């Protein structure tokens, strides 16, 4: 299960890093979008001993409002940091092509069902920069 969350976090980072080439919308400009939404995302699923398979799935994408303000008492700052994160996922399993003998050909990854702005949870998201 931890591997699935690792993939989930990596998918989020890849999605946020490359949304210009992955996403399109007729509803407005994604550069100014504030909020959290389920969006289509394509990645290459691979593991040692198998050929890669291009997969299109749903992932969370967006920007959430965040703020900090100074205060006079320790810790001298009040912070409110929310991130676009997974509220609900479902596990999807595919069979990778041309796997070597003895290699398990099945690859499981999370698919976003519902996304929201919320506190960063290390159970589902890589939070080390927050």
What average pLDDT does the segment 40-55 reach?
96
Using the Cα atoms of residue 32, residue 38, residue 39 and residue 43 in order, give the sign of their dihedral: positive
Helical H segments across the chain, by residue range: 2-17, 19-22
Task: Judge whether residue 12 has pLDDT over 80.
Answer: no
Could you tell me if residue 23 is inside a domain?
no
Could you tell me if residue 9 is inside a domain?
no
Could you tell me if residue 45 is inside a domain?
yes
Task: Find the CATH number of the domain harbouring 67.
Answer: 2.10.90.10
Q: What is the pTM of this model?
A: 0.62
Range of the domain at 81: 35-118
Could you tell me if residue 28 is inside a domain?
no
Could you tell me if residue 130 is inside a domain?
no
Show Cβ contacts of residue 129 under 8 Å, excluding neighbours closer than 6 positions.
none
Could you tell me if residue 80 is inside a domain?
yes
Per residue in 61-92, pLDDT (tens digit) is 998 988 888 999 888 888 888 889 888 999 99
Could you tell me if residue 54 is inside a domain?
yes
The tally of domains found in the chain comes to 1
pLDDT at 3: 38
Could you tell me if residue 100 is inside a domain?
yes
What average pLDDT does the segment 27-32 reach?
65
Strand pairing class (106-118; 83-95): antiparallel
Q: Encoding tokens for residue 74?
A: 């320790």
């Amino acid at each position: 299960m931890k591997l699935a969350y690792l993939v989930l976090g990596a998918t989020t980072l890849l999605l946020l890093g490359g949304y210009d080439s992955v996403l399109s919308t007729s509803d407005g400009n994604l550069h100014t979008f504030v909020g959290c939404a389920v969006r289509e995302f394509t990645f290459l699923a691979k593991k040692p001993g198998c050929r890669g398979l291009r997969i299109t799935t749903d992932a969370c994408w967006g920007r959430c409002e965040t703020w900090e303000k100074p205060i006079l008492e320790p810790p001298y700052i009040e912070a409110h940091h929310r991130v676009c994160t997974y509220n609900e996922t479902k596990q999807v399993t595919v069979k990778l092509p041309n796997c070597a003998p003895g290699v398990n050909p099945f690859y499981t990854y999370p698919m976003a069902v519902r996304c929201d702005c919320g506190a960063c949870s290390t159970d589902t998201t890589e939070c080390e920069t927050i």
